[in-house]
């Protein structure tokens, strides 16, 4: 059985406030007490931390308010990445009081690379291909409305973000598409967090017609093989409710949860006609 407390301790120590260097052009990281503030990543920002150093009460409210002021001045949406074992216990209510809105909770799952790596087995009509071109990142963005079943336009920020990361450091990010008859049916990427024991897995959304046929599992194996080749020990995923059961069957262990608390700039008032 996985040693969950050990895995959580390694995750907290190595990944919670990890920032890759170099960042994409236009992005920067700033330290504010126990927090690391990331600005200008695909037109959005993040706040991450290993822990809050025991801050509570008015001092914690002041820290939260400073982050809001910084991003409000930039007119930039940002995410406070809250973990299920974060202290103090009333942090979620303090974030909500400051104008943050919680999004869907995900589960942090971790596996040892050598327990996940192995031959990818996509369906017969599906091939896996590593991609580096902006045109392929745009194809990945184009299928997101189908994957997530919404009516909005494809998210342009996704192609921009993948392209900027790849140009900043080609070795940090590997993006893989699963294709059938030239169409993207799934896409996933891996970030190699140099200086840590972790490769982190992202994406993996599959178009509805191809779900339950092993496409996502094949992309997990392909990326695990890449992590093994580079000598990483662990794989970490922020898993949705749909992917978590698949990952647990593959040997991943749930160690905590993570919930995005998102602050957005107020909408500009609509002028009277």
Q: What is the pLDDT of residues 152-185, one digit of tens each?
A: 889 999 999 999 999 999 999 999 999 999 999 9
Question: pLDDT tens, 54-104?
Answer: 999 999 999 999 999 999 999 999 999 999 999 999 999 999 999 999 999
Question: By percentage, how much of the chain surpasses pLDDT 70?
Answer: 97
CA distance 165 to 153: 22
- Under the banding of pLDDT at 50, 70 and 90, the label for residue 39 is very high
- State how beta strands 44-49 and 35-41 pair: antiparallel
Q: Contact at 8 Å (CB) between 162 and 148?
A: no
Q: What pLDDT was estimated at residue 252? A: 98
pLDDT digits (tens, 9 = 90+) for 190-245: 999 999 999 999 999 999 999 999 999 999 999 999 999 999 999 999 999 999 99
CB 140 within 8 A of CB 187: yes
d(CA 179, CA 201): 19
Q: Which whole-number Å values give the CA distances from 175 to 32, 45, 188, in the listed order?
A: 32, 22, 6
> What percent of the chain is modeled with pLDDT above 90?
92
pLDDT at 109: 98
Structural domains in the chain plus CATH codes = 4-106+259-263 (3.40.630), 111-255 (3.40.630.30)
Q: What pLDDT does residue 89 have?
A: 97
Q: What is the pLDDT of residue 1?
A: 62
Mean pLDDT of 250-255: 97
Which two tokens mark 182? 């030239």
Quote the pTM value: 0.94
Res 271 pLDDT > 70: no
- In the predicted model, is pLDDT for residue 262 greater than 70? yes
SS (H, E, C) the chain: CCCHHHHHHHHHHHCCCCCCCCCCCCCEEEEECCEEEEEEECCEEEEEECCCCCCCHHHHHHHHHHHHHHHHHHCCEEEEEEECCCCCCCHHHHHHHCCCEECCCEEEEEEEHHHHCCCCCCCCCCEEEEECCHHHHHHHHHCHHHHHCCCCCCCHHHHHHHHHHHHHCCCCEEEEEEEECCEEEEEEEEEECCCCCEEEEEEEEECHHHCCCCHHHHHHHHHHHHHHHCCCCEEEEEECCCCHHHHHHCCCEEEEEEEEEEECCCCCCCCCC
State the Cα–Cα distance between residues 154 and 145, nearest whole angstrom.
Answer: 6
The pLDDT tens digits of the residues spanning 6-29 come to 999 999 999 999 999 999 999 999
Q: Is 151 exposed, middle or buried (0-12, 13-18, 19+ CB in 10 A)?
A: exposed
Give the pLDDT of residue 151.
85
Single out the residue of 268, 237, 263, 259 nearest to residue 250, CA to CA.
237
For residue 2, pLDDT over 80 is answered with no
């Amino acid at each position: 059985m996985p040693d969950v407390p050990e895995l959580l301790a390694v995750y907290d120590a190595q990944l919670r406030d990890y920032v890759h260097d170099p960042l994409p052009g236009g992005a920067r990281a700033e330290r504010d007490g126990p927090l690391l503030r990331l600005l200008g990543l695909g037109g959005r920002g993040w706040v991450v931390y290993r822990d809050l150093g025991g801050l509570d009460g008015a001092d914690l409210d002041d820290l939260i308010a400073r982050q809001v002021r910084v991003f409000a001045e930039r007119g930039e949406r940002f995410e406070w990445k809250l973990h299920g074992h974060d202290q103090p216990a009333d942090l979620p209510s303090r974030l909500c009081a400051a104008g943050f809105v919680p999004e869907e909770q995900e589960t942090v799952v971790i596996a040892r690379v050598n327990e996940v790596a192995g031959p990818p087995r996509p369906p017969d009509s599906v091939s896996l291909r590593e991609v580096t071109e902006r045109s392929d990142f745009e194809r990945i963005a184009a299928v997101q409305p189908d994957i997530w079943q919404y009516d909005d336009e494809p998210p342009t920020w996704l192609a921009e973000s993948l392209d900027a990361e790849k140009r900043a450091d080609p070795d940090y990010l590997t993006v893989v598409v699963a294709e059938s008859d030239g169409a993207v049916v799934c896409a996933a990427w891996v970030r190699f967090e140099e200086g840590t024991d972790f490769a982190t897995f992202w994406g993996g959304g599959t178009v509805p017609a191809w779900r339950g046929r092993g496409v996502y599992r094949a992309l997990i194996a392909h990326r695990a093989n890449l992590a093994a080749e580079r000598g990483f020990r662990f794989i970490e995923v922020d898993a949705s409710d749909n992917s978590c059961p698949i990952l647990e069957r593959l040997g991943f262990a749930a160690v905590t949860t993570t919930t995005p608390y998102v602050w957005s700039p107020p909408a500009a008032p609509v002028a009277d006609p």
